[in-house]
């Protein structure tokens, strides 16, 4: 027993590459590349700058919303109201813009509103210990019902010049895509290297052990929901400013698409594991699949079924990995 052990403190570069390729993020990246190459070979127009820009511009907000969602799920919770929240916040943004207030308020107030609304859910979940599925299911109905009652489904037209933030193209790349990349990078860094990020994983991985280690479970969950509201707010502003009109309804099944991105991205629905890089890659993959269906002449209505298939595949892969782990113990 006293013999010294040769213990590699960190894995070598080669094994780290191998580990990346077999990680959820690696698999998604490979899947995206394979998809672009294969569909591009079948139909060159799929790879045209125009189409790529449409794919990314139209879906970047989903990736942004999935960042916050991933944090919520890693903490051991869920938010099924995020679609309605984005609908409400987009309408708030458009209403501010057409009412003649400064544009920067139309871009920032929805974010604050998102944080405030999400803080209410977070407070109920963290401090009153109401299960998140119940709280956010209630919030979903309140937001959806409230939105339809107030706007009567009217579209917001005549949006002022310069309002369309998402469509700006610094360096030729749509602003929405910049947001997606920068926010994903910042959030990934924050989750991985900050003390708070670590405590999100700890609370989601084992709330009781985290509490014994002196981590405040309730505070952590509450702050996660506030941050989630922040990302939902940005997602809403990107959503509102990418089209010429705002429909002031909730995009159908948006919450499911966002949750799908998180889960397919490798965030365990049980909490405790997953990364926002994974969820962003998954959002890109889902968007690209949706677009490619058109190019290979498959009805886009199949997208929903393909998303479902992706979830099941991810869960099966996760199960297989867990089984393997269990056998090794």
For binding to other proteins (CB under 8 A), which residues are involved?
1, 5, 7-11, 193-196, 198-199, 201-202, 205-206, 208-216, 268, 272-273, 325, 328-329
What is the closest distance, in whole angstroms, from the C-beta atom of residue 260 to other proteins in the complex?
21
What is the closest distance, in whole angstroms, from the C-beta atom of residue 215 to other proteins in the complex?
7
Name the burial class of residue 318, with classes exposed (0-12), middle (13-18) and buried (19+) by CB atoms within 10 angstroms of its CB: middle
Non-local CB neighbours of 151 within 8 Å, separated by 6+ positions: 91, 248, 249
Measured from the CB atom, the residue of 36 and 318 that comes closer to other proteins is: 318
Q: How far apart are CA 219 and CA 225, in angstroms?
A: 10
Q: How far apart are CA 262 and CA 114, in angstroms?
A: 19
Measured from the CB atom, the residue of 174 and 272 that comes closer to other proteins is: 272
Measured from the CB atom, the residue of 196 and 295 that comes closer to other proteins is: 196
What is the closest distance, in whole angstroms, from the C-beta atom of residue 9 to other proteins in the complex?
5
Q: How far apart are CA 189 and CA 296, in angstroms?
A: 37
**Are residues 101 and 260 in contact, defined by beta-carbon separation less than 8 angstroms?**
no
What is the closest distance, in whole angstroms, from the C-beta atom of residue 266 to other proteins in the complex?
12
Q: How far apart are CA 130 and CA 220, in angstroms?
A: 15
Non-local CB neighbours of 105 within 8 Å, separated by 6+ positions: 96
Exposure letters 277-295 (e unless 16+ CB within 10 A, then b): bbbbbbbbbbbbbbbbbbb
Measured from the CB atom, the residue of 4 and 149 that comes closer to other proteins is: 4
What is the closest distance, in whole angstroms, from the C-beta atom of residue 5 to other proteins in the complex?
7
Measured from the CB atom, the residue of 14 and 170 that comes closer to other proteins is: 14
Q: How far apart are CA 259 and CA 257, in angstroms?
A: 6
Measured from the CB atom, the residue of 51 and 279 that comes closer to other proteins is: 279
What is the closest distance, in whole angstroms, from the C-beta atom of residue 120 to other proteins in the complex?
25
Measured from the CB atom, the residue of 15 and 99 that comes closer to other proteins is: 15
DSSP class per residue in 105-124:
HHHHHHHHHHHHHHHHHHHH
What is the closest distance, in whole angstroms, from the C-beta atom of residue 285 to other proteins in the complex?
24
φ, ψ of residue 312 to 5 degrees: the values are -65, -40
């Amino acid at each position: 027993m006293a013999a010294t052990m040769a213990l590699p403190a960190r894995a070598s570069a080669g094994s780290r590459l191998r580990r990346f390729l077999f990680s959820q993020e690696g698999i998604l990246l490979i899947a995206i590349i394979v998809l672009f190459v294969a569909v591009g070979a079948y139909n060159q127009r799929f790879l045209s700058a125009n189409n790529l820009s449409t794919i990314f511009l139209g879906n970047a907000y989903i990736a942004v919303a999935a960042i916050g969602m991933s944090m919520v799920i890693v903490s051991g919770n869920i938010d099924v109201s995020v679609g309605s929240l984005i609908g409400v916040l987009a309408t708030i943004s458009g209403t501010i813009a057409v009412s003649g207030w400064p544009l920067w308020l139309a871009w920032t107030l929805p974010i604050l509103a998102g944080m405030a609304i999400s803080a209410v859910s977070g407070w109920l979940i963290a401090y009153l210990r109401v299960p998140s599925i119940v709280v956010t299911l209630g919030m979903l109905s309140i937001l959806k019902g409230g939105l339809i009652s107030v706007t009567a489904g009217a579209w917001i037209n005549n949006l002022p010049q310069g309002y369309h933030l998402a469509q700006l193209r610094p360096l030729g790349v749509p602003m929405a895509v910049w947001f997606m990349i920068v926010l994903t990078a910042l959030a990934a860094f924050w989750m991985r290297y900050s003390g708070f990020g670590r405590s999100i994983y700890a609370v989601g991985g084992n709330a009781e052990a985290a509490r014994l280690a002196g981590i405040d479970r309730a505070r952590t969950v509450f702050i996660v929901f506030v941050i989630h509201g922040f990302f939902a707010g940005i997602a809403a502003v990107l959503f509102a400013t990418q089209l010429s009109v705002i429909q002031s309804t909730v995009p159908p099944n948006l919450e499911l698409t966002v949750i799908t991105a998180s889960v397919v991205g490798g965030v365990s629905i049980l909490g405790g594991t997953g990364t926002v890089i994974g969820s962003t890659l998954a959002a890109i993959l889902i968007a690209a699949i949706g677009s490619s269906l058109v190019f290979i002449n498959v009805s886009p209505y199949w997208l929903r079924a393909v998303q479902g298939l992706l979830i099941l595949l991810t869960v099966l892969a996760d199960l297989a990995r867990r089984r393997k782990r269990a056998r090794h113990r």
